[in-house]
Structure 1
Amino acid sequence: MKKRYILALLAASLYGCQNDLKVPETVSQSAQNPADIDAMIWKKLKETGEFRWDMASEQTVWSALQNSDQVMSVGYKPASADADLRAVIHTINVQEGDWKTAREALIDLIFSEERKTNPALKREDLLVFTEQTLPVVNVRVKNLTTVQALRRSPLVRYAEPMGYEPALSDKKARVASSSGCGSNIADIPLAEGADYTTVSPGSKSSWNHPFHGIRDGWTRTSGAGMKLMIIDTGLSYDQDNLSGNFNQGASTGRTVERLVTMPKAWWWSPDETPRDGCGHGTAMAGVAVGPRGTDGAAIGVAYNASLVSVRAVADVLIDESREVKGVSDAYILAGNRSDIRITSSSLGRVTSSSQIADAIRYAFNRGKLMFCAGGTSFGWSAGWWGVTFPASMSEVQAVTGVQDNLNSACDACHKGSQIDFVVVMEKAGNDRHPITLAMSGDAPSTVGGSSVATATTAGMATLVWGQNPGLTREQVVSKLAAASNYFPNRHPDFGWGRINVNAATQLQ
């Protein structure tokens, strides 16, 4: 489908796409102009700090559908049930009882409305993606009357455009490279001392590690026995340090899994693979769990932890319907696996997605500790620099980046009251960023923004939990907070602040 790109935001079981996700070639003349929709979204963001589709009129919701791929995310419930499912979302069996009945009645309602303008429509043609776990359906909606009927139905918890995000007014500026891809290289020539320190048995530790006590913390913990899930753009098949050389030197006995939850773009296209075509997921994996080896590559924070890489998105902006589905399924996957305790996602979007929120609450209720990037932008945000979704959710730990002066956000990092932790990831004098694994080879690349801050923090949490696997999620967060520089208070923009993981490993 035709993506609606924004300049560099957030520097995310396989289900197949049943229908073509191509954007309609024509849009009804009664649909609102995208520029007007976008203006309304930015206005709400600046006024309230968030944008949910229940803030928009039925006409606006329908217009957003027609200006994207017409795919709607509809959360449902039995008519007598409470619409707020956050406490019970993980206990629902949508295949049985009242939930199955409600789903069938909802699809009947949609089918009835859509057939008014398309008598040849078949009921099975409505569904775009399959869903086995959450009480939600993803359907193609073309009629305004369908949106109106859904807004009024006691079966509906939410009804939202799945793939609409506000974009630049200049459509020519919407390019894939602006969504966090294509830059997994060193931003300047790297030098010993300035950019890294070589540690035994021959790896490069990033210049920012001492700001967080990481090297000292390695004397007590390495993340052994833990399994970190990174929800992102996948892994490069050409980076041996994330495959055959994942175990080398001081990194031993661990595993790599490469999974994909993002549906394919077209019903006739080849299956999606876990391969990273962007570079972002490879960089995040290197930051969090790169091996402590002998080949001179960048070392990850939790260098002895296992890795589960989930390719949930094509790039860091969650602006396609299939990316919303991919991210949602990734969190469900994490929730269903007892061997995964921590997830890291350096992805996001401007508008909220109730389907992703459902999935995050599903994983949260199953005990997962989730870290999300607070947001990174470059001129697109029209004066709004708030915490992006899903980092804005209370169920996740939101992370952003700061400069080495310790009191300023990085040049493009978002901040706000929803941030929980910060990571030093930019030198104020020359914009140097932390090192990580490139798409191939042992020469490090660099990566910045709230993305690297999030992967670093997830790595530190893995160190702490790996040291004492009997801790609860809440106890791990408490240790991280208590070892941060603003504790016992919270900074208005930076939360608990900068973690000293060496101190955290010594707290009782």
Structure 2
Amino acid sequence: MGYWPAGLQSSTALPEDARQSPEWQQARAQVLALILAAEQKTHPDMTLEKLAVFEANALPVLTVTVRELNTIKALRASALVRYAEPMGYEPNRQPANRPAATLSSSGCGSNTATAGLVAGSDYTVLSNGSKSSWNQQDVYHGIRAAWGQSTGRGSKVLIIDTGSSDTQENLGTAFNQGLSTGRTVEHLVTLPRNTIFGIPYGDAETPNDGCGHGTSMAGACAAPRGIDGASVGIAYNASLITVRAAEDVFLDASREVQGVTDAYLLAGNRADVRIISMSMGRLTSSSQMTDAIRYAYGKGKLILCAAGTSFDWSAGVVGVIYPASLPEAVAITGVKDNLTTRCDECHVGSDVEFTVVMQRSSNDQRPLTLAMSGDAPSTVGGSSVATASMAGMAAVVWSRYPTETRAQIMSRLVAASSNRTARSNSFGWGRVNLATAVGSLVN
């Protein structure tokens, strides 16, 4: 629930110091008093301590558990309340060790080494022995040609996802190896513990990826160009922060909404972070997450979000999901190597801004990335890998032009795109030629 002093208009931007401002603090106290009074009518022993679910962050937001419909009605009628809405949608939610079929449908459980990958077809072996995915060929995005000018050095990407596997050394102790040097990697967690009626239970969450999705996104974006034979990321000299903000890619749980909210706030407050990539989402909007995304956007961050990934039959119908649908977000989707068709599971729509080639028409092959452990590559698809790949490309461009603003970098990406003269209603500006964007060659 968002609050504000009475009398403000819906178009009013949230001030950075809203939580510290006396009039905003007064509004917060009044709203809490309203909730407590309404709840105590049927629960006389209710206290403020029992109402709060998650710790307060920098936003003028309250997360509380209410049991009475009249409380919600009172909140929505109050001039002190910006919005009052359900935080999560999680009836009969299953535990983390749920069956493999359920894990797969949530984007988890499949990040293991892919058998049968063929050199020269599925990947190219580079001079130092690392594997460059088939979709890094210059014919699609000019990625390998761009590496002659920029590899992401000096840029830092923050990936909001399911974390990073503790056992994948290419995102840990071997992050700097071969031609990847002098960069940093951090693994953080913002996902809160589980709660029942506001009472936390279970162990504290860690940055470790129990799903596999976050590890594959980090690999596609910034895996090292090393000497161990693993797959190489697009921005192989960019620094990286992975944030475990959710259990899986569908942000349906209240604690996942809180985790993502806090991750965007963290990214916004990090002056060294320029690019935020998130390959997760939901069908319904979240005003709290929107507040956090607008906060990060106001700090000059380039925010990339996946347009959506689902089953073949629904992907072409649903459209761009939240939060990629927000104007502050750059929505990314995936296309096949024929350059004209969306990937089987990828969402499209007027909110899409860029596309990334990530599915072969002939054999459905997806791009290479890092598995949960070891050097043998896995593969990953959907608008998820398209988004992480685009984050890598943005890091390469910003590395080439480090003094430029977000708007200037976006202009360079658009100018180097396949639809730069006529934006598509389904695919936006289309494919970016990274080599053109960094000045390596002309389209």
TM-score range, shorter chain: over 0.9
Q: Which residue matches 1:139?
A: 64
- 1:367 corresponds, among 273, 287, 300, to 300
State TM-score, norm by structure 2.
0.94
What's the CA shift string for 1:446-481, capped at 9, x where partnerless? 000000000000000000001111011001011011
- 2:55 corresponds, among 124, 130, 136, to 130
SS in 2 for 1:128: coil
Q: Which residue matches 1:313?
A: 246
- 2:176 corresponds, among 243, 247, 250, to 247
Q: Partners of 1:152 and 1:380 in 2: how far apart?
A: 41
CA shift in 2, pair 1:90/1:410, >3 Å? farther
Is 1:303 aligned with 2:228?
no
Is 1:121 aligned with 2:46?
yes
SS in 2 for 1:234: coil
Is 1:222 aligned with 2:222?
no
SS in 2 for 1:304: coil
The residue type equivalent to 2:84 in the other structure is A
* More RCO (CA 8 Å, sep 6+): 1
Q: Partners of 2:260 and 2:194 in 1: how far apart?
A: 15
Q: Partners of 2:295 and 2:273 in 1: how far apart?
A: 14
Question: What RMSD, in angstroms, separates the aligned Cα atoms of the two structures?
Answer: 2.0
The residue type equivalent to 1:133 in the other structure is A
The residue type equivalent to 1:489 in the other structure is A
SS in 1 for 2:36: helix
Is 1:176 aligned with 2:103?
yes
Q: Partners of 1:167 and 1:500 in 2: how far apart?
A: 46
Cα deviation for residue 166 of structure 1 reads 9.8
Cα deviation for residue 114 of structure 1 reads 1.0
CA shift in 2, pair 1:278/1:307, >3 Å? same
Cα deviation for residue 499 of structure 1 reads 0.5
- 2:369 corresponds, among 436, 445, 452, to 436
What's the CA shift string for 1:288-312, capped at 9, x where partnerless? 0000001110000000011111000
Q: Partners of 2:316 and 2:231 in 1: how far apart?
A: 36
- 1:391 corresponds, among 324, 334, 350, to 324
The residue type equivalent to 1:209 in the other structure is Q
Q: Partners of 1:97 and 1:223 in 2: how far apart?
A: 43
Q: Partners of 1:383 and 1:259 in 2: how far apart?
A: 35
Q: Partners of 1:492 and 1:275 in 2: how far apart?
A: 39
Cα deviation for residue 185 of structure 1 reads 2.6
Q: Which residue matches 1:260?
A: 189
Q: Which residue matches 1:234?
A: 163
Is 1:157 aligned with 2:82?
yes
Q: Which residue matches 1:448?
A: 381
Q: Which residue matches 2:112?
A: 185
Cα deviation for residue 141 of structure 1 reads 1.3
- 1:349 corresponds, among 251, 276, 282, to 282
Is 1:377 aligned with 2:304?
no
Q: Partners of 1:177 and 1:299 in 2: how far apart?
A: 25
Q: Partners of 2:230 and 2:103 in 1: how far apart?
A: 28
Unaligned runs of 5+ in 2: 94-98
SS in 2 for 1:456: helix
1:471-490 pair list within 5 angstroms: 471-490=404-423
Q: Which residue matches 2:402?
A: 469
The residue type equivalent to 1:135 in the other structure is P
Cα deviation for residue 165 of structure 1 reads 6.7
Q: Partners of 1:105 and 1:287 in 2: how far apart?
A: 48
Q: Partners of 1:397 and 1:430 in 2: how far apart?
A: 29
- Given that 2:216 and 2:380 are in contact with CA atoms closer than 8 Å, whether structure 1 keeps it comes out as yes
SS in 2 for 1:315: coil
CA shift in 2, pair 1:375/1:118, >3 Å? same
- Given that 2:316 and 2:346 are in contact with CA atoms closer than 8 Å, whether structure 1 keeps it comes out as no
Name the stretch that deviates more: 91-100 or 347-356. 91-100
CA shift in 2, pair 1:385/1:155, >3 Å? same
Cα deviation for residue 151 of structure 1 reads 1.2
What's the CA shift string for 1:249-294, capped at 9, x where partnerless? 0000111111100101141311110000000000000000000001
Q: Partners of 2:181 and 2:414 in 1: how far apart?
A: 30
Q: Partners of 1:432 and 1:376 in 2: how far apart?
A: 16
The residue type equivalent to 2:35 in the other structure is I
Q: Partners of 2:48 and 2:378 in 1: how far apart?
A: 50
SS in 2 for 1:197: strand
- 1:92 corresponds, among 7, 12, 17, to 17
Cα deviation for residue 443 of structure 1 reads 0.2
SS in 2 for 1:136: coil
The residue type equivalent to 2:64 in the other structure is V
The residue type equivalent to 1:113 in the other structure is A
State TM-score, norm by structure 1.
0.82
The share of aligned pairs that are identical, in percent, is: 56
1:333-348 pair list within 5 angstroms: 333-348=266-281
Q: Partners of 1:395 and 1:437 in 2: how far apart?
A: 29
- Given that 2:57 and 2:262 are in contact with CA atoms closer than 8 Å, whether structure 1 keeps it comes out as no
SS in 1 for 2:318: coil
Is 1:194 aligned with 2:127?
no
CA shift in 2, pair 1:161/1:180, >3 Å? same
- Given that 2:114 and 2:376 are in contact with CA atoms closer than 8 Å, whether structure 1 keeps it comes out as no
The residue type equivalent to 2:108 in the other structure is C
What's the CA shift string for 1:300-325, capped at 9, x where partnerless? 00000111110000000000000000
Q: Which residue matches 1:206?
A: 133
Name the stretch that deviates more: 182-191 or 107-116. 182-191
Cα deviation for residue 378 of structure 1 reads 1.4
SS in 2 for 1:149: helix
Equivalent pairs counted in the alignment come to: 431
Cα deviation for residue 381 of structure 1 reads 4.6
- Given that 1:165 and 1:349 are in contact with CA atoms closer than 8 Å, whether structure 2 keeps it comes out as no
Q: Partners of 1:256 and 1:496 in 2: how far apart?
A: 31
Q: Partners of 2:312 and 2:85 in 1: how far apart?
A: 27
Q: Partners of 1:120 and 1:103 in 2: how far apart?
A: 21
